[in-house]
Amino acid sequence: MAPPPSGGTAPATSTLTPHQAGSVDVSTTTSSRITFLGHSFRVTDLRRIGLVATVLAALACIGVTTWLGRRRRSDDVTRFGARHAHDLVPVSTSPAATARLVVDVANLSALARLADRYDCVILELEHAGGRAFYLECGATVHRCGPDPATGLTVVDSPGDAPSDMTYFVRRTVAGA
């Protein structure tokens, strides 16, 4: 507001001077709004969106926890079957029975690396003793899992340090 003229008094019709005495009894309510990036949103709408997002995040957390828990409960053979399903071929008899050289591989990850290296499929045999996996490379058969004839699994010998690529060789003589 401009200062009064040098005459000393302010004009009679000032915007700050009330025209009527008393108070106003009118009340109005307006919804709260938030402006973000040039768009105006009602606070109640934002609260509803936040509630829905919280419920969806909680459901996602429950789903991930369930999936991870189920994955941890499965054994190595089941995880191997799920991970390498595209490389597994089911067979009805053991290829080790007619092979000249059988190499027992210590674990399934070593067998998978051999399959990748030799670009071969992995043969899977389900029998009464469990599941055995084979890899045929020429005259050599690599095996991991229990033998269908005995049901025994070959493990690291006590004197050796366990290794990822430990082999156990059993030679069979043709005609014996």
HEC string of 26-90 equals CCCCCCCEEEECCEEEEHHHHHHHHHHHHHHHHHHHHHHHHHHHHHHHCCHHHHHHHHCHHHEEE
CA nearest neighbour of 97 among 151, 156, 172? 172
Q: Where are the domains of the chain?
A: 33-73, 85-171
Report mean pLDDT in 10-residue bins for the chain, 176 residues. Answer: 56 64 74 86 92 96 85 67 77 84 87 87 84 87 80 47 47 43
Looking from the CA of 51 toward its CB, the CA atoms found within 13 Å total 6
Predicted local distance difference test score (pLDDT) of residue 90: 85
Predicted local distance difference test score (pLDDT) of residue 102: 87
Predicted local distance difference test score (pLDDT) of residue 96: 83
